[in-house]
Amino acid sequence: MSNKKYFYSYGKEKYGPVTIEELGSVNIKPNTLVWCEGMKDWQYARERADLLHIFNRRHTPPPINNQNIHVLEKGYNLHKIRTMFLIFLIGGFSLMAGIYGTLFNSMSETELLNVSLLWIIPMIFGISGLISLGVSSNKPVKAALITTIIITLLLFFLFNLLWSAL
């Protein structure tokens, strides 16, 4: 390698002298001004043939965080899982609209509450699944199922035991 020592500039501040290897480690840009002995004036680094290799290097991508690795190792396809949760959510809204749009006038309040579980369960599953994906859960489907079961049991208790007491 060359024994050349370069100065480089950020704004009006100049730094150096540094070797070509050191220039690469300080992350100079192609439009960084550089100067070394034998040059008449400062030049952009991109104009120096001996510095071009600094900009053509392949940079190593950042590491993948462990949560994403774990999800991928389990064979989950996050796009398909997200789509599934959205389908459950939209399906729940559709069931709600269909049930209340067609049966609202023909059912009592108690019957409507009981039939509400038909649209509440897919909506809870869709919402809890999307939330579990948002918090980087390793097992989003399992988390959504557990959440759905717990909330459904709580709602069933509320609808059937407390509602009748009112």
pLDDT digits (tens, 9 = 90+) for 127-152: 988 888 877 667 788 888 898 899 88
Position 68 scores a pLDDT of 52
Average pLDDT over residues 83-106: 88
Same domain? 51 vs 78: no
Position 34 scores a pLDDT of 93
Question: Would 61 be classed as within a structural domain?
Answer: no
Burial class (CB in 10 A: 0-12, 13-18, 19+), 28: buried
Domain span at residue 10?
A: 6-56
Give the chain's domain count: 2
Position 115 scores a pLDDT of 82
At 47, is the pLDDT very low, low, confident or very high (cuts 50, 70, 90)?
A: very high
| pLDDT above 90: residue 55 | no
Same domain? 71 vs 52: no
Same domain? 43 vs 76: no
Q: 116: closest CA among 140, 141, 151? A: 151
Average pLDDT over residues 113-120: 81
Average pLDDT over residues 44-73: 69
Position 41 scores a pLDDT of 94
Average pLDDT over residues 80-96: 89
| pLDDT above 90: residue 33 | yes
Same domain? 73 vs 25: no
Same domain? 141 vs 159: yes
Same domain? 16 vs 49: yes
Position 73 scores a pLDDT of 42
- As a whole number of angstroms, the distance between CA 69 and CA 103 comes to 47
